[in-house]
Structures are given as structure tokens and as C-alpha cells.
Amino acid sequence: MDDLSSEFDTAWKQALEWFFEPFLEFFFPVIHGAVDWSREPVFMDKELQQVVPDAQTGRNTVDKLVKVWTPDGVEAWVLVHVEVQSQHDPEFAERMYVYNHRLRDAHGRMPVSLAVLGDESRSWRPDAHREGRWGCEVAFTFPVVKLVDYSGRDEVLEADQNPFAAVTLAHLKANETRGDALARYDWKMRLVKGLYDRGFTKLKLIRLFHRIEWVIKLPPVQRVLFHREMVAFEKERTVTPLPPLFQDIRDEALTEGLQRAVGLGLKRRFGQAGLDLVPRVKAVTDVAALENLIDAVHAVADVTAFAALLPAQT
């Protein structure tokens, strides 16, 4: 995975587990209103894997099976299938039917199947599977959400208090800024700063930051600049100090970004001789020291002089 690639599958898996109620409220409000939220939803990954072994979270797809209850105490299952970056797939609707049918056959109950399509096509909208012959037919339909339908609603999504508004906007901007590091940097900064104005709890803030980090990847140099700007932003805003977990996440990302920036500079200036020093660069974890190394890449006379600045190889 390169620096600009996006871990959409991991991000969506976690978002569904962290914000399942807001997910239904945002995308499927009628279903949300029919659920008793005083009872905690139960994620049934094991049951799903037993019946549909190929429904494992993989590149660009996420499948979740969730048990919920209605206000009158009736148990219901919700099967969520997220196709996050697929192109046109003629077998998608059939796959939705197969998953639903297998679960119905194995457990004696038909789940409510929902689909979220995160691709960039406005025309591909599979929502039904039909097959049959000679009067024997089956027709299976399911609700579908297309994230691309939310394009152009930036200000509305930024003002929405539902966490999945932020999740959706991050996904859209990751797609829209693919290949444009500067635009991606600007949108990532705007999205993260915007989290502070929505009144989220610290836990939601941490989880949404996680999600944005997974989806909107920055090249090494922009990554360093991003974290420097965030530090200045927090000081200027005198925001509440970040909880340790959040600070640890950012510190780890900052260190990694600085190390990559040094490595990139070495590669550009010294070629393979510079790349040979990268393992020693990774042994440096102090932020100030790494920042000095970034400057040194351009200031030293040769690769030998730069090597002298690094810890001895063990």
C-alpha cells in the first residue's frame, strides 16, 4: 500500500462497530425508528463466517451481521454489506441474495440486507436480484445507499451532528483528492479541525480521528506538516488537552511521518546509498532529532557526512 492509498475496509468495519445506531439513523432512518435502542446491538461475525465463509472483511468490502430488537421484543437481524470502492460488478445483487438466503436457511430467519456503495459511479445502483424459469421465479430487493449522492453537500455534512456525516465526508474527499496531495492535505485538516466544533465526546472524537487517519492518507512531508499545524491549532484554540490515547496516536504518526520524510529526502539526493541508511533513520524516534535530520539531508556535503549524524548500526 503506497502513501496515498486508503484503508477503506478497516475504516468502514470500525465505523460500523463504533457507530451502528448513527449509521442506521443517517442512511436508513425508517429502519432506525423501528429498532429498540435501549437494548445493545449484538455483532454476529462468527455466525456470518460460519454460513458465508467468503464474507470476510477484505480489500474494498465489509460485511457485518447485527442482531437488534424491535420495541415489542422481537429479535431481528440486519445484514450490512459495504462495497466501498468497487467498480461495476454484475454479480453484486446476486451475492446479496446468496448471503441473505444462506443465513435464512441456516438460522431460520431472514435478515434485512442493506448495501452501501462507495464507488464513484452515479449510474451503478444494484438493488434487486431476480431469476427463474417457466413460472418459477424469485425476486429479492434490498435498500441501497450511494455515497456519491452526498457529493456537493460539504457544508451540510460538516454541520451535521451525526458521526456518519463525518464518516461520509471523509470517504468522499478521499476519493475526490486521490492523486492530489495538496488538496488532500487541505481537506484532512479541515475535516479534523471541524470535529472540534461538533460537540462530540472525547471517545467519538478519538474514533472519528482514527477513521479519518485510515481513509485520508498523506505523503510523508504533508503528514509532518499536518501534525505540526494541528499542534499550533490546539494551542491557538486552547482546546482541552487531548486524552493520552489520542496523543499517542498522533505522536506515533508524527514520528513515522518524519522518518518517511527523511527517507524520501535520502532517496532523492543520494539514491541507493541514501536508502541504505533508512534502517538507521528508523532507530531515531525523537521528534526534534528527526526534524534536524530533514534539514541535514539538504545541508550535508555527502552521504557519509549524513551517516555520521545517525546512531551507530548495531
Per-residue pLDDT tens over the stretch 35-76: 999 999 999 888 888 887 765 444 567 888 999 999 998 888
| Whether the predicted pLDDT of 109 surpasses 60 | yes
| Calculated CA dihedral for residues 287, 291, 293, 298, nearest 10 degrees | 170
C-alpha cell of residue 112: 434485512
Percentage of the chain beyond pLDDT 70 is 89
Answer with the residue of higher pLDDT: 293 or 9.
Answer: 293
**Amino acid at the residue 32:** H
* Per-residue pLDDT tens over the stretch 8-28: 777 888 889 889 999 999 999
| Cα distance between residue 59 and residue 30, in whole Å | 30
Average pLDDT, the chain: 85
**Residue 3 pLDDT grade (very low, low, confident, very high; cuts 50, 70, 90):** very low
| Whether the predicted pLDDT of 155 surpasses 60 | yes
Answer with the residue of higher pLDDT: 146 or 211.
Answer: 146
* Per-residue pLDDT tens over the stretch 187-210: 999 998 888 888 788 778 888 888
Residues in the chain: 314
| Whether the predicted pLDDT of 128 surpasses 60 | yes
Radius of gyration of the chain (CA): 23
| Cα distance between residue 300 and residue 314, in whole Å | 23
Mean of pLDDT values over 142-154: 94
Cα–Cα distances in Å, from 105 out to 6, 59, 94, 197?
36, 27, 16, 47
Assessment of whether the complete model's pTM goes beyond 0.75: no
**Residue 163 pLDDT grade (very low, low, confident, very high; cuts 50, 70, 90):** very high
Burial of 66 (C-beta count, 10 Å sphere; 0-12/13-18/19+): buried
User: Which pLDDT does position 66 carry in this prediction?
Assistant: 92
Mean of pLDDT values over 211-229: 83
User: Which pLDDT does position 57 carry in this prediction?
Assistant: 46
Q: Which residues of 141-158 are buried (b: 16+ CB within 10 A; e: fewer)?
A: ebebbbbbebbeeeeebb
Which DSSP category does 58 fall into?
B
User: Which pLDDT does position 245 carry in this prediction?
Assistant: 44
| Cα distance between residue 39 and residue 135, in whole Å | 43
Residue with cell 459511479: 121
